[in-house]
Chain A
Amino acid sequence: MSKKTKSILLISICSSLILLLLIGSLVFTFSFNGEIPKTNILYDKDDPDQIIGSMPFPPSLQIPFGTDRDGNHMFYRILEGAQITLGVALLISVLSFLFAFVFGILAGFSKSKSKYITQTLFTSFYFIPQSIIAYNMLHPLLWEPYEGFTTTLTERILLQIIILAGILAPTTAILISSETKQILQKDFITSTIILGGGKFYIFYKHLLPHLKLRLFIIFPKIVIQSLLIIAHLSYFGLYFGGTDICYDDLLCDPPKPFIEEWASMIGMYYADLHIYWWIFLGPMLFLTLTILLLSGVSKGMEGLLDIKPIKHVKSSKVLNSSKKEQKASNLTKKDFGLVHRS
């Protein structure tokens, strides 16, 4: 198998699995109304009166991912949460990618000293972890105050998505601008400038075709980063869409999320890790799997980029054929290929 087919295979398998997860989640919610199966008590098969266990159940053949404390099957909860987690991560990454694309390309084109200054200023983002910035910025928004929220759920979700996109943008912009700079240093760009090509012409005709594939490498990485930030935030107690806290002294549940999704499940059940490890591990495994699939897509794209450009292949073909013409006298069976077979 050539490297190209391998890369394409990797990309298609990984992306179709992610799509399958998303579609499965949507189908479950809309055609089955998202009703999560419940098992409160398990009876013995031979003797229906014999109780062999009660919730929460650990993973078994009948219940692959176990149940939570209320007997809900974890697998279906995870499936239902997939659309929100994946959708939000994609939305955040598309937004931050748009920000970063515009600013990165502008920065890549500019040559002045101000670019050096802004780039070094942005380097500070490398030394402050993004999840910490996100925590500090979002805490007043997402942590329910004593008087209750003054914002609605939709407002909070929208604001959170925009803020997270803004936090992710600077490092992405640095990446894109350095890629742009690398391409702009090539010889053919210099000759375009000499021949009188304008900046927009260079961007559209020369930069974009070269940058396209690299952007496809960067994009899955941003999705991974945004998934990780949402997960980190929920470890710190800030669930996506807000944390519901009860301030009564008596009979209080621990803080809980408003929305069912992977990150908040992981963050919430981390405390139960020592007893009911499967409730934590189920969503965690799915999140990890998604991240691995995304990095598989990115890796496949890298493999595609590594392949020599088409021009090169053509010239080598020409070389080969000219060599073959020289050796025309001693042709072997290998030199002939089957062309049509209809």
Chain B
Amino acid sequence: MKQTFFTRTFFEISLIIAGIMLVSAAIPLFQLNDISLLNYGKTVWGIAKELATPHDLIYINPLSGEERNLFPIIFEAYFNSMKIFFLALIISLFISVFLLVLYFSVSERIKKSIEGIGYVISSLPDIFIIGIFQIFIVWFFKRTGILILDVAATMGNPIVLLPAITLSVLPTFFFFILMVTILKEEEEMSYVELAKSKGLRKYRILFMHMMRNVLISLTNHGKHIMWLMLSNLLMLEYLYNVFGVTPFLFSYGEPSIFAVTSIFIFLPFFMLLKILEFTFERRIGSDMNL
């Protein structure tokens, strides 16, 4: 069992990396005048060769035209992005659980309206949220003379905190809506009825028994959440001028740099999903494929 899991994971990782290479090779296709399979094949081969010797890769800044070795500099950008991403993930998980508790403790009618509002917010486009945040910051500054960016700067790294908060808005409501649907399914399970009939308190049942199952079911949607947050993150980095992985992905002339950056983005998320899958498979024996 253990063996097959790891070999399967390894196989999947190499396949996805191959997929990323194929996508990256498709990018410069339209720069060439003759689109042919032979050219495409050549590009794929070129990327594969360059990936084999990663320390020779050179990154040209599209704005300043400066040439640098890719390798030490990409790590700094990469860690900036990852900081924002995981901070946002943690914030949104906490707030959505908090919202869930709030939801759990109000009456049936308010529940319905909370659900409706949550659904509407979770389907707002990311650019709208970023725009509203910016307008709010400007409005707040004009009203009070306090620049929120400065406030955020005294509380920590401004370049991380503010984007992370903006990034966390959509996933929070996405998590919340998902949790509510899962919770409704769980409420009908017999173990909840048993717990109720034993006289356990409402919150004890919620936290000790139901929440675990809710969180486990939540990881089933892991890939989708990552997808949603990743495109948000890159948008945010661009608009807030954060030094992250985005400029490396904008180097349209260099498919190999695009490939390296994509692989860097993909690896930790995929590993995280696989680790979650592995632990759940061992602990509760449920078969997932994330």
Given A132-B249, A141-B30, A281-B135, are A127 and B262 neighbors across the interface (CB < 8 Å)? yes
| In the assembled complex, B226 has its CB within 8 A of some CB on chain A | yes
Stretch among A90-98, A118-126, A195-203 lining the B interface: A118-126
Q: How many A-B residue pairs have CB under 8 A?
A: 124
Asked if A266 contacts B127 (CB within 8 A), the reply is yes
For B232, give the chain A residue with the smallest CB separation. Answer: A129
When distances are taken between beta carbons in the complex, the residues of chain B under 8 Å from A121 are 15-16, 18-19, 22
Residues in chain A near residue B270, CB distance under 8 A: 127
Min Cβ gap B127→A in Å is 6
Size class of A's contact patch?
35 or more
Cross-chain contact A123 with B26 (CB below 8 angstroms):
no
Contacts of B123 in A (CB 8 A): 291-292, 295
> Is there a chain A Cβ closer than 8 Å to B131's Cβ?
yes
- Cβ of A287 < 8 Å from any Cβ of B? yes
- Residue A157 is within 8 A (CB to CB) of chain B in the complex: no
Give A159's nearest chain B residue, CB to CB. Answer: B30
User: Are A126 and B227 neighbours in the complex by a CB distance under 8 Å?
Assistant: yes
Chain A nearest Cβ from B219, distance in angstroms: 15
Question: Which residue from A224, A231, A273, A292 sits with its C-beta under 8 Å from B138?
Answer: A273
Q: Does B213 contact A (CB under 8 A)?
A: no
Q: Mark A253-286, 1 if CB is under 8 A from B, else 0.
A: 0000000000000100010011001001100100
Query: Is B31 in the interface zone, CB < 8 Å from A?
Result: yes
Does residue B93 face the partner (Cβ distance < 8 Å to A)? no
Establish whether residues A136 and B27, one from each chain, have CB atoms under 8 Å apart when the complex forms: yes
Interchain nearest-CB distance for B149 vs A (Å):
13
Contact yes or no, A284 B131, CB < 8 A: yes
Q: Given A136-B27, A137-B30, A277-B138, do A123 and B238 touch, yes or no (CB 8 Å)?
A: no
Closest residue of chain B to A150 (Cβ to Cβ) is: B33
Number of interface residues of B (CB under 8 A): 44
Using Cβ atoms and an 8 Å threshold, which residues of chain B touch A136?
27, 249-250, 252, 258
Is B69 positioned at the interface, with any CB of A under 8 Å from its CB? Answer: no
Which chain A residue lies CB-closest to B120? A292
Instruction: Decide yes or no: A284 and B226 within 8 Å by CB, A117-B15, A127-B270, A299-B119 being known contacts.
Output: no
When C-beta atoms are compared, the residue in chain A nearest to B231 turns out to be A129
B residues near A124, Cβ cutoff 8 Å: 16-17, 19-20, 22-23, 262, 266
> CB distance A235 to B250 under 8 Å?
no
- Enumerate chain B residues within 8 angstroms of A129, measured Cβ to Cβ: 227, 230-231, 234
B113-144 residues at the A interface, CB under 8 angstroms: 119-120, 123-128, 131, 134-135, 138
Encoded as 1 (CB less than 8 Å from any B CB) or 0, chain A from 275 to 316 comes to 001001100100110011001000100000000000000000
Q: Is B269 an interface residue (CB 8 A)?
A: yes
Chain A CB count within 10 A is highest, among B12, B128, B238, for B128
21 A/B residue pairs, CB under 8 Å, sorted by A: A117-B15, A120-B15, A121-B16, A122-B19, A123-B16, A124-B20, A126-B227, A129-B230, A132-B234, A132-B250, A136-B27, A137-B29, A228-B127, A232-B235, A235-B238, A270-B131, A270-B239, A273-B134, A280-B131, A284-B131, A288-B125
Q: Which residues of A contact B (CB under 8 A)?
A: 117, 120-133, 135-141, 159, 163, 224, 227-228, 231-232, 235-236, 266, 270, 273-274, 277, 280-281, 284, 287-288, 291-292, 295, 299
